[in-house]
């Protein structure tokens, strides 16, 4: 369900009983408020006023009982451990979005009023190596398509090895090879590229359905007006009757990575951990953290924040199944995400489609995988780039070793490279959107382009 600030959201409920429903209460609260408010919904409908100048989502659930006291019965829960969400938008407030990219905390798609619920979301981590990985783009694209579909209850981040924190996280997992998908802190993992997208989706759903601690987390990020600072708030609620111990990690990521390698744009790439510390939450209680973060060095419209709670219990996992590359797995109990600016202008997405990393090309034709792991070009080749933007691509530039070689303003974004050149070269493709934001993709190649007579062939 969606609504605009300053308006009312009408909640409708249908219920019946073999005697008579005598009590029906609607419980609701803004996402950043701890205590629930309530009002009767016994007549079947109730109105919730959505605050003006606020885009804070509203959580709600309903409890009913009958004259015989056979209840209470709740939808989707009787204690608020699960809830439905009213996604609140406000045209005058673009600084916060607690429900990014169409995925609601209850698992329902943002434009769908079917009120499908999940007990929790899964959390996926994708290690990304420094060197080119020929099969990683395929897996990254599958995960991204599953995420964008809104049909699978999960969030994901990319762990770039060139980033200090990303490299440390990769080391914790004792990664054996690429690509590898880590689900819920190592509860499950998928190694290699010989998988179908549906299999990845099913493994994510299986992790969501596993037994877990009844815990919830809500993260918000509010940008101060005319400031480069944000107020970060994390609320963790323990719905169990015992003390909870674990670790809170808050991932700061780029929604669209502005620098990358190979042919697939990187999304939700880790920049830093805003919080990485052990936590304890009392039984049937909550704990919260608030801190100010300076984000002046980043594009505020391109930031997404993930709050993830890992259980303190250690499990043994193997990054080379069934029993090699051992690591300590701490399973995820709760995850939430927020953008800093709602519906901001994102930088373009760009990738190099031809040549593909670690392949050999002869006169532009892909011959085979390279035995050396290098990308090898023999003779002229048409370089092909992929570029897209949430508004419009203004132009795409092709560079070789830092020298601008070609500017293309319309699709297809390609350039015929045909010159006398031998040796290692770096190809950079840079995309510009209509608001001046840029992104680039890079690939190192070994080239042998001599005079055509040296590559004579029969046609």
User: Radius of gyration of the chain from Cα atoms?
Assistant: 25
Q: Which of 344, 371, 402 is the C-terminal boundary of a domain?
A: 344
Question: In terms of pLDDT, which residue wins out, 99 or 11?
Answer: 11
**Cβ atoms of 156 and 143 closer than 8 Å:** yes
Query: Are 177 and 291 part of one and the same domain?
Result: yes
Which of 433, 378, 376, 388 lies closest to 413 in space, CA to CA? Answer: 388
Rounded distance between C-alpha atoms, residue 26 and residue 291, angstroms: 33
Tell me the pLDDT tens digit for each residue of 163-177. Answer: 999 999 999 999 999
Domain total in the chain:
3
333 and 442 part of one domain: no
Claim to verify: residue 299 and residue 356 sit in the same structural domain: no
| 76 and 216 share one domain | no
**Domain closes at, from 93, 119, 149:** 93
Specify whether the backbone of 138 is left (phi greater than 0), alpha (psi in -120 to 50) or beta.
alpha
Please give the residue range of the domain that contains residue 451. Answer: 349-455
State both tokens at 370: 């390279």
pLDDT tens track for 245-304: 999 999 999 998 877 666 667 889 999 999 999 999 999 999 999 999 998 888 888 999
- Give yes or no: residues 44 and 169 share one domain: no
Q: Does one domain contain both 302 and 370?
A: no
Q: Does one domain contain both 174 and 312?
A: yes
Cα–Cα dist 357/363, whole Å: 16
Residue 197 shares a structural domain with residue 302: yes
Instruction: Name the domain boundary from 93, 113, 138.
Output: 93
- Residue 308 pLDDT > 90: yes
Whether 271 and 138 share a structural domain: yes
| Sign of the alpha-carbon torsion through 195, 198, 199, 201 | positive
pLDDT-derived band at 118 (thresholds 50, 70, 90) equals: low
User: Looking at the structure, do residues 379 and 334 belong to the same domain, yes or no?
Assistant: no
CATH code for the domain in which residue 418 is found? 2.60.40.10
The two tokens of residue 1 are 């369900």
> Do 292 and 309 belong to one domain?
yes
Check: pTM over 0.75? Answer yes or no.
no
334 and 381 together in one domain? no
Q: HSE on the CB side for 141, CA within 13 Å?
A: 14
Alpha-carbon span 302 to 295, nearest angstrom: 11
């Amino acid at each position: 369900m969606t609504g605009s600030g300053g308006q009312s959201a009408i909640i409708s409920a249908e219920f019946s009983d073999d005697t008579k429903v005598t009590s029906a209460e609607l419980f609701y609260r803004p996402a950043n408020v701890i205590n629930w408010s309530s009002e009767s919904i016994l007549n079947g409908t109730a109105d919730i006023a959505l605050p003006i100048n606020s885009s804070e989502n509203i959580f709600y659930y309903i409890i009913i009982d009958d004259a015989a006291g056979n209840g209470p019965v709740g939808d989707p829960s009787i204690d608020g451990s699960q809830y439905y969400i009213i996604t609140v938008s406000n045209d005058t407030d673009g600084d916060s979005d607690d429900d990014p990219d169409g995925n609601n905390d209850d698992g329902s798609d943002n434009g769908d009023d079917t009120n499908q619920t999940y007990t929790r979301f899964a959390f996926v981590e994708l290690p990304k190596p420094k060197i080119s990985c020929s099969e990683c783009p395929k897996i990254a694209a599958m995960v991204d398509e599953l995420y964008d579909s809104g049909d699978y209850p999960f969030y994901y981040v990319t762990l770039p090895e060139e980033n200090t924190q990303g490299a440390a996280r990769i080391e914790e997992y004792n990664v054996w090879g690429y690509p590898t998908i880590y689900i819920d802190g190592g509860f499950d993992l998928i190694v290699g590229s010989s998988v179908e997208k549906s299999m990845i989706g099913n493994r994510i759903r299986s992790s969501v359905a596993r037994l877990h601690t009844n815990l919830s987390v809500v993260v918000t990020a509010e940008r101060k007006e005319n400031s480069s600072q944000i107020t970060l708030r994390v609320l963790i609620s323990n719905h169990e009757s015992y003390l909870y111990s674990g670790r809170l990690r808050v991932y700061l990521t780029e929604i669209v990575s502005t620098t990358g390698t190979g042919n697939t744009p990187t999304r939700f790439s880790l920049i830093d951990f805003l919080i990485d510390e052990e936590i304890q939450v009392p039984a049937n209680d909550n704990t919260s953290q608030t801190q100010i973060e300076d984000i002046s060095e980043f594009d505020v419209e391109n930031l997404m924040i993930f709050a993830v709670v890992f259980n303190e219990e250690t499990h043994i996992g193997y990054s080379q199944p069934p029993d090699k590359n051992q690591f300590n797995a701490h399973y995820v109990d709760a995850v939430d995400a927020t953008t800093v600016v709602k519906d901001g202008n994102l930088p373009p997405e760009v990738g190099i489609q031809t040549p593909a990393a670690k392949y050999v090309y002869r006169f532009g034709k892909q011959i085979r995988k390279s035995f050396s792991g290098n990308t090898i070009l023999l003779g002229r080749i048409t370089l092909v780039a992929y570029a897209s933007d949430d508004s419009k691509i203004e132009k795409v530039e092709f560079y070789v070793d830092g020298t601008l070689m070609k500017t293309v303003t319309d699709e297809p974004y390609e350039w015929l490279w045909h010159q006398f050149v031998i040796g290692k070269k770096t190809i950079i493709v840079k995309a510009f959107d209509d608001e001046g934001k840029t992104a680039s993709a890079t690939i190192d190649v070994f080239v042998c382009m001599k005079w055509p007579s040296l590559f004579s062939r029969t046609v």
